[in-house]
Chain A
Amino acid sequence: METVRKQFDDWEAKTLQPVLDRSPERHSEFKTESGIPVKRLYTPLDMEGCNYGSDLGFPGEFPYTRGVYPTMYRGRHWTMRQYAGFGTAKDTNRRFRYLLEQGMIGLSMAFDLPTQLGYDSDDTHSEGAVGRVGVAVDSLEDMEIIFEGIPLDKVSTSMTINATAPVLLAMYIAVAEKQGVAASKLMGTTQNDILKEFIARGTYIYPPKESMRLVLDIVEYCMTHVPRWNTLNIAGYHFREAGANAIQEMAFTLADAIAYIEQAQSRGLDVDSFAPRLSYSLGCYMDLFEEIAKYRATRRLFAKIMKTRFQAKNSKSYLFRIFSGSCGSTLVAQQPINNVVRVAMHALMGILGGHQAIHTACWEEGFALPSEDSARLALRTQQVLAHECGLCNTIDPLAGSFFVESLTNEIEAQAAGYIQKIDDLGGMLAAIESGYIQREIQEASVAFQRRVDSGERVIVGLNAFKQEEENETATEELFEVDASVETIQCEKLASLRKRRDPENYQRAMGTLEQAVNDNENLMPYMLNAVRAYATVGEICNLLRRQWGEYKAPIYI
């Protein structure tokens, strides 16, 4: 190392300095997107103190820096997961059947905002939003239509649903029952990550404590009744979209995971009995090396947390399985076709970062609903990278890069610092309730915008390389969601309320209310209620009456 140091000093003095004297560099300092200073050159000197075995290790082994599986993409590629939402249950059913005919076995469901927020389609809150950003589900009837002719023991279904996840999962189980499929055979995922909703995505209903109770009800119920279900997908993606930097995204995701695991333990659950069913989402932003370092650092820090903080024994509990998505906020409305390049970079980061599933955005996302052509292009982007670029022949190809390893270490250290701070504040729930997390993200968001406005952060087409009047492509029919969806749903609801057995319904709602007060796991009672055709809105309103609605602290 001494030799290298000497050689480095010589290089700086004899080769570098004369050039710097003649022509200075483009900037006085270089930084990653999250503000980590980047040196001119990384050398073995930056690897001093690195212990290969304990810092990097081998794929599929602690600390999982190099990947969660021993063969990674040599065994199989990541899952290319594209999703979309459709107005009515019938439309969704048609689309699902088409996808299944094409050989897909993983379905992905997006729900409209009323369903996500526990309002029926005929609630005044729902006006104008029914069927808009996903399918409208009011009662078990809708779920029956969505999955008609789809054998639920053969498919896996991923549901982007949080505050109302218990109700929707109950409906899924009830549809399976009607098909004669036991809950123990069901496969899929409920997002069910309410903490990030309080911070970023906004579809929370009840106060944090009660919301956490519902999250854990699913985790606990599925352990025995739906053992193949991924109960909770803990997401950092949304923090990033709200303006957080890479370090905050990583730290807050892990802090959320810690909060959920602690809650589960406080119910007396053994960490190794539920942790293997947890999965994670992170975003793909624009700084390639920083993002890759983030994924590697997150895997490592998570494994350390599982080992030291939670004393997990099952090796599956240590796996930080990543589902990633292009951050929509990196896409630019000006000269939008350029977004194709940005999305390809997102996929590249995901691949070099060793992700288990990748979603690539469509180039017009952010100002339009994607067309079929652009949705196909987004998928083809992943396929080109998977098959043409030699990216999948060896595992974690950037390991050993002086720069990437150094960045991985730095990001891990800074994220660990954040987690310490959150511990000091009393944990993630307290940090959210006090507004600390929201403030941190808001400051990062404002700082980023300032850098864009000043031109320090170049965004091609937006604040540099601008072009006169870009043509707005194919926007005529956009957002023109069929207004009849709302009418159809409202009529179905009115008819359902007349047709369903009132005694059955009353009894189911009565026992649900009792279970709320008795602090029982609500899943079996929700299941009874949806079997009696209680609606999403009716069940959620019952809980609203008991628990109230949460008003989040506002910080600008």
Chain B
Amino acid sequence: MNEKNKTRILIGKIGLDGHDRGAKVVARALRDAGFEVIYTGLRRSIKEVVAAVVQEDVALVGLSFLSGDHMTQVARVIDELKAAGCPDVPVVIGGIILKHQVPSLKEMGVRKIIFPGTPLTEIIEDVRAIVEGHDA
């Protein structure tokens, strides 16, 4: 498959948190699995990430959070995506997320939450299922 036909995934770090080992490992695994992956780098604003989603025509957004500010950030990302006219781009989040936060996150519209220790193969399968539209 050439680059043009590849499904594009955007992996992003929003806010001031500097931990991106997980984000980069997931980005690499998805790239190796045949996706075209854009990694934003650290400390992007929500506006920057949403602009990238629009410009790059991405099929899925993955966001990584390790400093505990995901509840506020995720709600804003989803609002901004709607405002930018792409409410259907699925949002997946990973990192240090507590189980009791899952229902609220799902309600906001997060498609999938990836917990620490999830094997990369499982992440790849989940992402593929979501972009192909046959996730549960």
Known: A133-B67, A475-B100, A554-B41. A449 touches B116 (CB 8 A): no
Q: From residue A475, how far is it (CB to closest CB) to chain B in Å?
A: 5
Cβ-defined partner of A449 (8 Å) among B15, B72, B120: B120
Find out whether the CB atom of A128 lies under 8 angstroms from the CB atom of B69: yes
Chain A residue contacts of B73, Cβ below 8 A: 128
Determine the distance from Cα of A70 to Cα of B17 in the docked complex, in whole angstroms: 42
Residues of B contacting A234 with CB < 8 Å? Answer: none
Please pick, from A201, A367, A462, the residue contacting B18 in the complex, using a CB distance under 8 A: A201
- Expressed in whole angstroms, the Cα–Cα distance for A394 and B112 within the complex equals 54
Whose C-beta in chain A lies nearest to the C-beta of B72?
Answer: A128
The answer to whether A113 and B17 have CB atoms under 8 Å apart is yes
Give complex CA distance A501, B117 in Å. Answer: 54
Query: Of A119, A334, A452, A476, which is within 8 A of B100 by CB?
Result: A476
B99 touches A472 (CB 8 A): yes
Tell me whether A202 is interfacial, beta carbon within 8 Å.
yes
B117 close to A113 (CB less than 8 A) = no
Task: Say whether A117 contacts B16, CB under 8 Å.
Answer: yes
Determine the main DSSP class of B at the interface with A.
Answer: loop
CB of B117 within 8 A of CB of A556, answer: no
Q: Mark B1-20, 1 if CB is under 8 A from A, else 0.
A: 00000000000000111111
Across the two chains, which residue of chain B brings its CB closest to A124? B45
Please name all residues of chain B whose beta carbon is closer than 8 Å to the beta carbon of A127 when the two chains form the complex.
72
Flag whether B87 is at the interface (Cβ < 8 A): no
Measured in the bound complex, the distance between the Cα atoms of B69 and A415 in whole Å is: 38
Could you tell me the distance in whole angstroms from the C-beta of B18 to the nearest C-beta in chain A? Answer: 2
Please, how many angstroms separate the alpha-carbon atoms of A136 and B96 in the complex?
22
Contact A367 B96, CB 8 Å, known A445-B25, A453-B121, A556-B28: yes
Residues of A within 8 A of B29 (CB): 446, 449
Taking A114-B16, A129-B15, A129-B16 as contacts, is the C-beta distance between A243 and B117 under 8 angstroms? no
Q: Does A105 contact B (CB under 8 A)?
A: no
Q: In the assembly, what is the distance between CA of A125 and CA of B16, in Å? A: 8
Using C-beta atoms within 8 Å of the partner chain, give the interface range for chain B. Answer: 20 to 34
In the complex, whether A332 has a CB less than 8 A from a CB of chain B is yes
A60 at the interface (CB under 8 A from B): no
A311 within 8 Å of B (CB atoms): no
B43 within 8 A of A: yes
State whether A333 touches B115 (Cβ < 8 A).
yes
Docked CA distance A354–B117 (Å): 32
Tell whether A408 is near chain B: CB-to-CB under 8 Å: no
Look across to chain B and name the residue whose beta carbon is closest to the beta carbon of A116.
Answer: B16
Would you call B128 an interface residue if the criterion is a C-beta within 8 Å of the partner chain's C-beta atoms? no
Chain B residue numbers with a CB within 8 Å of A450 are: 120
In chain A, positions 391-447 with a C-beta closer than 8 Å to chain B are 442, 445-446
Q: Compute how far the CA of A51 lies from the CA of B102 in the bound complex, rounded to whole angstroms.
A: 60
B111 contacts chain A at the CB level, 8 A cutoff: no
| Tally of contact residues, A, Cβ under 8 A | 47
Among A452, A453, A481, the residue within 8 A (CB) of B68 is: A481
Interfacial chain A residues near B45, Cβ < 8 Å: 125
B29-72 CB contacts (< 8 Å) to partner A: 29, 31, 37, 39, 41-43, 45, 67-69, 72
Binary CB contact string for chain A from 344 to 367 against chain B (1 if under 8 A, 0 otherwise): 000000000000000000000011
Tell me whether B25 and A202 are in contact (CB under 8 A). no
Chain A window 531-556, contacts with chain B (Cβ cutoff 8 Å), 1 for yes, 0 for no: 00000000000000000000110111
Decide yes or no: A446 and B25 within 8 Å by CB, A132-B67, A476-B100, A551-B41 being known contacts. Answer: yes
- B93 interface residue per 8 A CB criterion: no
Q: Check A241/B117 contact, CB under 8 A, given A366-B96, A442-B28.
A: no
Q: Across the interface, which residues of A come within 8 angstroms of B28, CB to CB?
A: 442, 446, 556
Q: Is B81 on the interface with A (CB-CB < 8 A)? A: no
CB neighbours of B21 from chain A (8 A)? 241-243, 329, 445
Q: Which residues does chain B contribute within 8 Å of A555, judged by CB atoms?
A: 24
Contact A128 B41 (CB under 8 A): no
If A132-B69, A475-B100, A552-B41 touch, whether A334 touches B120 (CB-CB below 8 Å) is no
Contacts of A117 in B (CB 8 A): 16, 43
Give CA–CA (A445, B29) in the complex, Å.
11
A556's partner among B18, B31, B69, B72 (CB-CB below 8 A) is B31
Name A's B-contacting residues (CB within 8 A): 113-114, 116-117, 119, 125-129, 132-133, 197, 201-203, 241-243, 329, 332-334, 366-368, 442, 445-446, 449-450, 452-453, 459, 462-463, 472, 475-476, 478-479, 481, 551-552, 554-556
Q: Apart from A133-B67, A241-B21, what 7 extra A-B contacts exist at CB < 8 Å?
A: A114-B16, A126-B16, A129-B15, A203-B18, A449-B120, A453-B120, A475-B99
Cβ contacts A to B, 29 pairs, < 8 Å: A113-B15, A113-B16, A113-B67, A117-B43, A119-B16, A129-B15, A129-B67, A133-B67, A202-B17, A203-B18, A242-B21, A329-B21, A333-B115, A333-B116, A367-B96, A367-B98, A442-B24, A453-B121, A463-B119, A472-B99, A472-B100, A475-B98, A551-B41, A552-B41, A555-B24, A556-B24, A556-B27, A556-B31, A556-B37
Which 7 pairs, one residue from A and one from B, show the smallest C-beta to C-beta distance?
A: A202-B18, A113-B16, A479-B68, A556-B27, A128-B69, A333-B116, A554-B41
